[in-house]
Amino acid sequence: MDMAGRAVVVTGGASGIGRATALLLARNGARVFVGDINAEGGQAVAEAAAQEGLAVAFLPLDLTDAGSIETFAAAVLAQAERLDGLVNGAGWDRSQPFMDNDPAEWDRLVAANLMGAVRLSRALLPPMIAANRGKIVTIASDAGRVGSMGETVYAAAKGGLIAFTKSLAREMARHRINVNCVCPGPTDTPLFRAQPESLQAALTRAIPFHRIGTPEEVAEAVMFFAGPRSDYITGQVLSVSGGLTMVG
């Protein structure tokens, strides 16, 4: 199994793409630490994994709280002999025209979708640097590549996450740490299902494959970057969107 013996952190692992990623990595041999603000969902993932004999542990994590990030990182490093990977998968959004946004919401969007990943990466990089190995995968969004109506600040944060990925990849190359990014398009997650039905239908029609993606399909791309098959790939952005976005 590609991930045998590897310890990997997955944020946002309580549901959607993060949950699918955590289970896929574990099924391929990884020991997975799920971090999420949703304690009920996080425990459910750990219990589901245990029923399959998989190594998935849940630890609470609020990416908008610097103290929570420090506590989470310390707990992971206390339990893991080494850390082989980090999947920055957590994110949050609410579709609304920019001029209707509550400015107070901007801070939460940026904290959850960008700065949380920045802070957690910083906290978990030291053992990877010491070992001269590791994989970081950020899950951004095609909204950050091409923009998205009703998601302006969210798109800005995800665009920042893409730029963070590329810049961190340059800095970490000397330590043999790969840093790559997966950009999902519309995907069948609780976040997508919370959007108005008219928007869901419009997005589905716009996709060349005429269907939205599944969390499992995105998880496969994440595992590629987290595993050994991508050892000579870094600083790259992979869109998983059924052809919705085709940009250079």
Tell me 233's DSSP state: -
Phi, psi of 240 (to 5 degrees): -120, 85
Phi, psi of 135 (to 5 degrees): -130, 130
CB atoms within 10 A of CB 77: 18
- Look up 154 and say whether it is catalytic: yes
Find, among 169, 162, 168, the residue nearest to 142 by Cα. 162
- Share of the chain residues as helix, strand and coil, in percent rounded to the nearest 5: 50, 15, 30
Q: What angle do the packed helices 39-51 and 16-27 form, to 10 degrees?
A: 30
Cα(191)–Cα(15) distance, rounded to whole angstroms? 10
Check 92, 154, 164, 192 and give the catalytic one: 154
Tell me 206's DSSP state: H
Find, among 143, 154, 226, the residue nearest to 185 by Cα. 143
State the distance between the two ends of the chain, measured CA to CA, in whole angstroms. Answer: 33
247 burial class (0-12, 13-18, 19+ CB within 10 angstroms)?
A: exposed
Distance of CA 238 to the CA centre of its chain: 13
Read off the amino acid at residue 187: T
The label of the residue with tokens 């910083």 reads 122
Active site residues: 154
